[in-house]
Structure 1
């Protein structure tokens, strides 16, 4: 009994002690409640998130953020907070006794319903019925894009971006699903914030009468600062582009710029600096090789005996003499915010690029202002202004000799055994080129040009809601683009000697005005029916004027073009021009959705253009599309791995009106063959062009069928689609009988077909809390065929320099296929020469004799290749680990060809003492080296000049590591900055190709559908470092 009482006493003591200790612990814990404050922002746009949820894990203790995204909550110091917001990934964070916690939420792609901008409106991505690709700002490789077009390169299926050269500011060709026109252009329509952009350059590219100017037109899109872009939508099929009618046949690229968001002032500053080196240079003969090769050819009976190279030579690399390390500099500062119903965005930008060749570069200064005021379902009003100033410095580049030549062409051509300077420090000019090719550095110093461009986009809109779901909207906009280009040829240069110096000013202005009015309807009728419709009209006016002034014979050449009238007034020349055009349009579109499963889109546009004849001034462009959301069907309700499965199809008509003004008019020209009055022959005006009142649009009918899909919580997503586009009524110059007195007349007679497959595939190879690896691939095929040329059999195109018309347009073939002679080997000593020309010797090229007459002539030409590749592709690997992101991007093309005009010069040199490609001559045929690959070059014209042949038309397939970018985000808890992002980017790291020229993607000259590499400005390899500050 006593033991039991002792035990009971002991137990009671233990229990009481435990209760006391527990009470103390609970009391101590309760005393560790702290107040936590912070701000929640979105990673994708760095804006605050009002109404985001903040919850203490495992409890009902929570709060929401205010209008500025800020929160305050009292929680235990060792608790865990859960942050969530619709459309973003939830985050769990340990408090760990902190009183300030700032959170950045990532976009949740599995739940977000993305909005896509289409013509004259927006739709949910899941409701798109046409072929539309949307790129958001985070997908545009931030900080690494020099211009808008570059951001599309290799990233969109069905879109090919061709960088003609590596010259700062040079234009880039964008082709949506191939080439569909011969004479009316193949550029897509750009629409910026609802305003179609007139991309006509105010000043042409080439010089006039001996002024060496730059053949590469500056792209008008250079005036857009890529840092201001919020999203880019590419409309590819007729259903999506028909709403733009006669301007939509080559695709439409819609650019939406950044706007303000409600909340306090947000400031962002981006700075980057980079260096550039030429990525490649031509492998030419060195001084010693040049001496041995040329003297060897002379010893073998070829060449010019009086042009033997002396034994003692120097070794000058003229390409290096012109080169330097270029720089890239960017500063972007923007302010955004909003209060109540008003939002604003203001940005200031500077971009400067110093070229890798001397005397070349480009600077851009930009300003953008966007202000919007709106009350939902009542009204909206907005103003958008973009102003830019660009200064370009042009390197003297070109092809051929004299005024057509350029410094780079001279560097490739020039004798490598001559020192750069003579004993007196002057340029050491070769006596073998006294009147043809100048010293490369003399051209850099004495032949140059620059330009100043001022451009302003301005638009203003007002929208008023007449009733629920119905609004009326009016937009007025203008695009004002002015350029002045100055050119100077110094009298110390070869070309300037004969003129006493030449100065020239080309100035021009292109203005565009637009007014449009639309009625917009968007309403759901119960849960089964929804209608989104637009009805409107537009008026567009295009105007331009230009003037050029040229002077020659300057006694004070230091004044150059700044005193253009100080030369010999008898040699002055002046010219000017003015033109305009108008388009009036009526448009409509209806999107109908049934039970969120079945979608139909119908659109129509009527365009009337002053550019066409009075008998065919209006064109009509209908389109229809349908889509079926298969994943919404009940029979797939038990299938958990399908997130989206949508089948869509479309058909429509689109047009092309991108031709010069007044072509349908009869015109008259002045000739100096009039009657003689008082001993002087008078000027006579006579008809120079035959009128065509029936001239009309180029028209295209396009059909598409495609599937959009995503599986396993969007770990795998993409689309695949097939398209077929038939273009008719192509504008061509039809030769007329001599009896008419006219050479040709512009008529609608041609036809062309494009078909292909666009594939987009994205997959999260790894996706977990701290690490993701996303693999994205785009692949595009295009098959182009000319289907009709009317009564014409063929058209030869693309001549440059002394290479006449290397391309042929022929029914059944791809447009502008290379047409020339196929090399089947080299004539060998033991070959049978019977019946062949006695001029042919062992070591000469052997061409395929198609007609078997043992004479190589024009009848032996054949198709050697085509400029358009069979397919293009892009591969992006993106790795994210916590706050670090690594992106690796490859792009390439397969199956296209390129005419290497530098190789043409080496096979058929116009001057014996010019330099040549090393591989050809170091491995040339000799009796001791009877190769079947390269000729002896002793007698290159024994069978004529077969300039375009299977040696000079090369395979241009390539795979390029286009960029590697590493980003790191510092999420700061203290200080004035909410975040700092650091990045390093390397561009154009290497290219795998069999092409022997400067780069397989260049197109330095020629029409936009034929590629020719002729002393192209070299591509660059860039290394950039940058910082982005947010506060």
Structure 2
């Protein structure tokens, strides 16, 4: 028996050996060069494989009649049968998918290899993962030149976006144009889980086709679509997350406070920040259903999000659904698409018209930690005699409110191909937005106890309706080496905005009064309530065209033109504007002299020029407006007068941006290295500004007119490298860099002249006082801080100042006059960088996103308020209040609180923004096609020398870089999620 077993064992080994064959081979590219590191794997068995050596050779024992799969980045994957072959020679063909990748542009798409403008594209695979709250956060750090800031941790907030610097001084819109599948929207309109790709039109030649809405950039969001034939798929994405405060201010605790100020010891030990905060739990669920056949397909998407803020009573809930049906008929010559989108948002409100009131956080920060929350009788511990000193828990719980928003959108698209190469398209959409809000304060609220505003309440509502119709015709033709396309179109966009509001107080109790029954407050009867309404209709009409030409895929040309008029300039001579653009491209690698080089697979030079406009932020700025004024006694009655509110200006026109862009795109070494470099110069002429004018002859003392000029110049770099790619391990890394230089060239035009070459804007708050924070000045960059410059302290701990002449002045002799102020910093980062890494090891994947901002300063509102020893003794302070100023002395109690350069800090930071680790199971059982689980950390680590809670502060508008005292703190989020396809 023992011998028989041995014989069978040897026989099995022999049969196995006979079933195996040794295969050797060489992998080359089309030029005969060896492909080093190519993956050679037996099809259906990923554990049986190897990679090619430095000469492109490989050796592998494989089962008889097997098929080898040979792959390498930048080349088309090949499958080679081994039956009857012991030696193989494989030639891999270059994969042109990088060049053939489709990029969304204005009113269409284009091959990436044919693009001649500055356009960035981010696909779903490269999105930021984890607990993101809008589409802006999905692409944060992914697009060079696109500064996306998340200035606080409020779940109801949105990201701020600035493309290629600041482009206005306040008279025009600053937000980029956001289009969702071609329909106007916002970054928070669509659920991040429902997005397939985001494309950004960055330069003037790309954005000019959108005319007056293109100066601040165009963001094209493409949602997920049903694709293919005989589709039948259900996909679920969901995650649960929690958060913690990323960094707290280092305030005195109760023991430290009572040691310093024993006369203010009230016996308690209260952590006020802990009292108003919590450990939040949020969850998001997204269900997508796709189905159809060769003629009809559909996608239905449902999304539910429940987001709790780190602060109590800062919750956000959203439910939205989208369904889209596409039908093809007449031999696919006609395609009909219909879409329906609905959304409902609701958030708690601790302030009128908003979500969480930042004042609550500020009060918790400054509150004496020895104060109890409540008195012995259970009432709130409140002292109405102390200025701006309020119990934060009472502010939260003696007020209630919510904000509800709904949106309903219908859209349709008809595409008809009457003949080959001709496409006619019609897009229609109707959007209706509604908002209803209510907020009320009880009779125990500080506003009633101290200010006499018993039960102050507010309600409001608005309705916005938007209609869009766009008709286009496009003809594409390819004749030999010549390829061209021509597009023409018409666009009509109409909006109607209506709003009303009522503020009232003087309620007798909390049961029958308040915002649910706002009309019974006595202030309304006494004529002290605030009631108002307004209606603003606008429309925009545009005619546009574009032509592209390509010769041998080597020489590329694109030109576009838009002629547009808008009601914002109704009553002027310039309601219509013309916005042209042109761009050219040269694919250098298609030239004969580049055929023998081995470095570049593709090298393309781009040059573009385009003109875009910016709409005035308010309507009817060019016509005379009237308003109600004071009362006059006429014929025995008091009559309210009507007075001028603005002067007419028939010459008012768009702000006009002229931009030149020079770019270089490259792909090297089979796609292992790729990227782009861009240089731009954008000049904005005719900045809208309010000029002082004499009265008479003018009706009003100010006139809105075009006068100033602003310039932005910059460089943007994007580089992607794939250092490793084989069957088990892959690493792809992308770096971005952008540099911007901004300057205000002029504040005056040919007709209207500014009295000064500067104006002050923005305010900072400290110890109940307010001061100007920023100055906009000709010859300088936007974002300059303007305040007193301190350079030292004297032996008593009092400031020593430097005046405008460079002379040192001691504290008692310094006049604190406005002319003594300096530029003491700038809140706009000079350059940004990002580093994104994607790694895969077998079924594990790891994504790490990092980004940073450099070359800017921050006004530290926390230190300015909580490091001054002259603040009221009953208020809390930072532990650093007793630090040596300039390393010499503590600050003297004699020094009054003020805004000066000591509270301005360098804001440079580098963030490990997102870390996501996932595992993919592939197909599980009969019904699960794929399953992936992941864990994610958002805002994982910040490296900075800044002493505040987070250097990522607002960079919006003309007042960037101010870290306000009452800012909702930044959070660090931890998520666990699952993605499953059925």
The Cα shift of 1:540 comes to: 0.9
Q: 1:405 to 1:871 in 2, by over 3 A?
A: closer
Counterparts of 1:895 and 1:933 in 2: how far apart (Å)?
A: 28
Alignment-derived partner of residue 381 in structure 1 = 336
Q: Counterpart of 2:25?
A: none
> Offset at 1:483?
0.9
Aligned equivalents of 1:256, 1:379: Cα separation in 2: 22
**Residue 346 of structure 1: which of 275, 294, 300 is its match?**
300
Residue number among 663, 668, 688 corresponding to 2:626 in the alignment: 668
Hey, what's the Cα distance between the residues in 2 that align with 1:821 and 1:428? Answer: 38
Residue of 178, 193, 202 corresponding to 1:236: 202
Aligned partners of 1:330 and 1:621: how far apart in 2? 43
Q: Which residue of structure 2 lines up, in the alignment, with residue 457 of structure 1?
A: 409
Q: CA deviation at 1:291?
A: 3.6
Shift of 1:596: 0.8
1:188 aligns with 2:176: yes
Alignment of 1:159-558 (within 5 A): 159-183=146-170, 184-197=172-185, 220-261=186-227, 262-294=229-261, 308-310=263-265, 313-374=267-328, 378-396=333-351, 406-430=359-383, 433=386, 436-497=388-449, 498-526=452-480, 528-558=481-511
Mean Cα deviation higher: 692-701 or 553-562: 553-562
1:630 to 570, 582, 588: 588
The DSSP-based 3-state class of the residue aligned with 2:264 is: coil
SS at 2:447's partner residue? helix
TM-score normalised according to structure 2 size: 0.86
Give the deviation of 1:455 after TM superposition: 1.1
Mapped partners of 2:669, 2:957: distance in 1: 49
Q: Does 1:704 align with 2:653?
A: no
Structure 2 residue matching 1:223: 3-state secondary structure: coil
**Corresponding residue for 1:749?**
707
Greater Cα shift, 348-357 or 409-418: 409-418
Q: Classify 1:635/1:648 alpha carbon distance in 2 versus 1 (closer, same or farther; 3 Å).
A: same
CA distance in 2, matches of 1:623, 1:350: 42
Q: CA deviation at 1:902?
A: 2.4
Deviations 1:140-187 (A, max 9, x none): 135543211111211110000111321012121111111111211321
Pair 1:725–1:690, CA change in 2 (3 A): same
- Gapped regions of structure 2 (runs ≥ 5): 1-10, 21-41, 46-61, 83-93
Q: 1:540 to 1:238 in 2, by over 3 A?
A: same
Determine if the alignment matches structure 1 residue 988 to structure 2 residue 939: yes
Determine whether 1:805 maps to 2:772: yes
Tell me the residue number matched to 1:217.
Answer: none
Question: How has the CA–CA distance of structure 1 residues 950 and 25 changed in structure 2, closer, same or farther, with 3 Å as cutoff?
Answer: closer
How far does residue 332 in structure 1 lie from its aligned partner after superposition?
A: 0.6
Seen in structure 2, the aligned counterparts of structure 1 residues 128 and 537 have a Cα distance that, compared at 3 Å, is same
In 2 relative to 1, CA 487–139 (structure 1 residues): closer, same or farther, beyond 3 Å?
Answer: same
What residue in structure 1 maps to residue 722 of structure 2? Answer: 764
Paired with 1:256 and 1:320, the residues of 2 have a C-alpha distance of 42
**Distance (Å, rounded) in 1 between the aligned partners of 2:658 and 2:400:** 46
Q: Name the SS of the counterpart of 1:603 in structure 2.
A: strand
Q: For residues 659 and 800 of structure 2, what CA distance do their matches in structure 1 show?
A: 45
CA–CA distance in 1 between the matches of 2:223 and 2:410? 13
Q: Could you tell me which residue of structure 1 aligns to residue 759 of structure 2?
A: 795
Cα drift, residue 684 of structure 1: 1.2
How far 1:545 sits from its partner (Å)? 0.2
Matched, 1:997 2:963: no
Change (3 A) 1:404 1:992: closer
Displacement of 1:394 after TM fit? Answer: 3.0
Instruction: After TM superposition, give the deviation of residue 246 of structure 1 in Å.
Output: 0.6
* CA displacement 1:799-854 (0-9 Å, x = unmatched): 255333210000111113100111101112xxxxxxxxxxxxx2112111224475
**What is the CA-CA distance between 1:934 and the residue it aligns to?**
6.1
Provide closer, same or farther for how the CA distance between residues 674 and 293 of structure 1 changes in structure 2, counting only shifts above 3 A. same
Question: 1:845 touches 1:935 (CA, 8 Å); kept in 2?
Answer: no
Paired residues of 2:659 and 2:680 also in contact (CA < 8 A): yes
C-alpha RMSD of matched pairs (Å): 3.0
1:385: Cα distance to partner?
A: 2.4
Structure 1, residues 122-145: CA drift from partner, whole Å, max 9, x if none? 100010000000111111135543
Task: Say if 1:169 and 1:921 are closer, same or farther in 2 by CA, change over 3 A.
Answer: same
Cα deviation for residue 536 of structure 1 reads 0.7
Cα displacement (A) at 1:923: 1.4
Q: Which moved more, 1:931-940 or 1:241-250?
A: 931-940
Partner SS for 2:653 = coil
Tell me which residue corresponds to 1:961. 912
Does the C-alpha gap of structure 1 residues 749 and 395 become closer, same or farther in structure 2, counting only changes over 3 Å? same
Alignment of 1:515-664 (within 5 A): 515-526=469-480, 528-559=481-512, 560-568=514-522, 569-571=524-526, 572-612=529-569, 613-664=571-622
Determine the structure 1 residue equivalent to 2:878: 918
Contact 1:410 1:440 in 2 (8 A): yes
8 Å Cα contact 2:882/2:890 also seen in 1: no
State the structure with more CA Rg.
1
For each residue in 1:864-891, what CA deviation from the matched residue of structure 2 results, as whole angstroms up to 9, or x when unmatched? 1111101011111211112211011111
Question: CA–CA distance in 2 between the matches of 1:87 and 1:194?
Answer: 32
Tell me the CA shift for residue 898 of structure 1: 1.9
**Matches of 2:519 and 2:870 in 1, distance apart?**
38
Q: Are residues 346 and 737 of structure 1, via their aligned partners in 2, closer, same or farther at CA, if it must alter by over 3 Å?
A: same
Structure 1 length-normalised TM: 0.82
- 2:149–2:955 Cα contact (<8 Å) kept: no
Count of aligned pairs = 894
Distance in structure 2 (CA, Å) of the matches to 1:481 and 1:933: 59
Q: Which residue of the other structure, out of 922, 931, 934, is the alignment partner of 1:971?
A: 922
Q: Name the CA shift for 1:565/1:80 in 2 (closer, same or farther; >3 Å).
A: farther
Instruction: State the match for 1:689 in structure 2.
Output: 646
SS of match in other structure, 2:623: coil
